[in-house]
């Protein structure tokens, strides 16, 4: 019997799942360590210790049932006052005990329930979890805070919160462009499943080199925005509105349109310059110059009076043509054709290099190349 005791020391008499360590001087007197759990959160057990000291390990958390767990909050030694333990979700709490006599250790634990939330990164719990995870003590009330807007790409693409669901019940949320949405307090008497609903929004940019464009802003994906540009009263060179550049645009008025916001989008108001008034004024001015010059030279040499006014008007018309903005790369000008052919050649070379680097499959490469050549 003594041999049995010497070889098998520190064996729990009624213990389960408990690792213990014992590195002190052995003695021949053994003592019992009674381990108890307040409110029967785990089975009580006893350990027979044949040493001066003993280190007791206790896991911080253990399973209660399918949806909850117990978490350690305090311990009491020999029926004295409970001493709080720093809270933790995982790992073991250790207690070094002097085993000169029998001892009673009582652990106190609380049930905890999880808040099951998708996408925890943008969510704040208030108060925070006592175990620094998503588990909360039974009976506590928790609020979740989440930004109204998650900007995925600056001035391009964002998500705006529109509703939230708790355990299958959905509520709508009044929309806002900034700040935090806070749920009402959620009582932790059970596990809860929470999710948030968002709408995708895209930024519509309305640009114009002339006048005052309106309609810039954030719009729900797929919605229709009204865009407009208010022209300025130019004189003598007039800016003439010639339409909108962009996809999904439906003209609704002389300067207005509807744009479907199916992606981050920029729409640009197009303008051409109307020199007709300027030319007329210029012509009148030139005629005026001619008239004045003619009057001035009336009393001078006849040949000079005939030559100079004609040169001045010819020079003015040439300048007009040289700054004509309607002259574009699509005209049959020889150099324009040459430069555009060069642009197409370089465009095709780039497509070929994308194909060679594995970015494009054979089919897509052929299709894109054909389309580029067709549009040339």
Residues forming contacts to another protein in the complex (CB under 8 A) are 88-91, 132-133, 153, 156-157, 200, 202, 205, 221, 245, 262-266, 268, 322-323, 325, 327-329, 333, 335-336, 339-340, 342-351, 354, 358-361, 363-364, 367-368, 371-372
> Minimum distance from CB of 180 to another protein (Å)?
24
> Minimum distance from CB of 53 to another protein (Å)?
25
Contact present, 255 and 228 (Cβ < 8 Å): yes
- Please list, in sequence order, all residues whose beta carbon lies within 8 angstroms of the beta carbon of residue 326, skipping any fewer than 6 positions away: 272
> Minimum distance from CB of 28 to another protein (Å)?
39
Specify the residue, 177 or 370, whose C-beta has the smaller distance to another protein: 370
Let me know how long the chain is.
376
User: How many Cα atoms within 13 Å fall on the side-chain side of residue 351?
Assistant: 19
Specify the residue, 230 or 331, whose C-beta has the smaller distance to another protein: 331
Residue 183 DSSP class? P
Specify the residue, 40 or 326, whose C-beta has the smaller distance to another protein: 326
Reading the block at residue 175, the tokens are 């929309």
> Minimum distance from CB of 90 to another protein (Å)?
6
Specify the residue, 54 or 136, whose C-beta has the smaller distance to another protein: 136
Q: Burial of 100 by CB count in 10 Å (0-12 exposed, 13-18 middle, 19+ buried)?
A: exposed
Cα dihedral sign, 316-320-323-328:
negative
Let me know the angle formed at the C-alpha of 142 by 138 and 143, rounded to the nearest 5 degrees: 165
Specify the residue, 28 or 328, whose C-beta has the smaller distance to another protein: 328
Contact present, 314 and 290 (Cβ < 8 Å): no
> Minimum distance from CB of 333 to another protein (Å)?
8
Q: Is residue 367 within a helix (H) or strand (E), and if so which, with residue range?
A: helix 362-375
DSSP states of 238-256 = EEEEEEEESSSEEE-SSSE
> Minimum distance from CB of 237 to another protein (Å)?
16
Specify the residue, 124 or 366, whose C-beta has the smaller distance to another protein: 366
């Amino acid at each position: 019997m003594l041999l049995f005791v010497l070889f098998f020391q520190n064996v729990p008499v009624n213990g389960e799942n408990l690792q213990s360590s014992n590195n002190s001087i052995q003695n021949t007197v053994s003592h019992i360590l009674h381990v108890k759990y307040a409110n029967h959160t785990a089975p009580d057990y006893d350990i027979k210790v044949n040493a001066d000291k003993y280190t007791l390990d206790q896991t911080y958390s253990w399973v209660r049932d399918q949806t909850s767990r117990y978490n350690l909050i305090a311990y009491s030694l020999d029926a004295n006052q409970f001493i709080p333990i720093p809270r933790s979700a995982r790992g073991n709490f250790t207690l070094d005990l002097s085993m000169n006599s029998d001892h009673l250790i009582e652990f106190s634990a609380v049930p905890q329930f999880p808040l099951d939330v998708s996408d925890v990164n943008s969510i704040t719990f208030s108060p925070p979890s006592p175990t620094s995870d998503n588990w909360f003590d039974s009976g506590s009330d928790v609020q979740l805070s989440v930004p109204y807007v998650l900007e995925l790409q600056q001035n391009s693409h964002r998500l705006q919160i529109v509703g939230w669901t708790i355990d299958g019940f959905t509520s709508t949320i009044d929309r806002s462009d900034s700040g935090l949405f806070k749920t009402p307090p959620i009582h932790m008497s059970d596990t809860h499943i929470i999710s948030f609903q968002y709408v995708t929004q895209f930024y519509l940019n309305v640009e114009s080199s002339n006048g005052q464009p309106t309609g810039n802003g954030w719009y729900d994906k797929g919605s229709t925005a009204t865009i407009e540009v208010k022209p300025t009263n130019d004189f003598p060179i007039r800016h003439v509105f010639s339409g909108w550049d962009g996809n999904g645009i439906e003209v609704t008025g002389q300067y207005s349109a509807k744009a479907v916001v199916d992606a981050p989008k920029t729409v640009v108001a197009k303008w051409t310059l109307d020199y007709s008034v300027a030319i007329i004024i210029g012509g009148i001015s030139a005629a005026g110059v001619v008239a004045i010059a003619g009057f001035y030279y009336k009393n001078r040499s006849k040949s000079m009076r005939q030559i100079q006014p004609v040169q001045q008007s010819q020079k003015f018309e040439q300048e007009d043509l040289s700054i004509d903005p309607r002259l574009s790369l699509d005209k049959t000008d020889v150099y324009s054709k040459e430069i555009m052919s060069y642009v197409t050649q370089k465009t095709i070379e780039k497509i070929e290099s994308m194909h060679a680097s594995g970015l494009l499959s054979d089919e897509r490469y052929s299709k894109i190349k054909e389309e580029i050549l067709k549009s040339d």
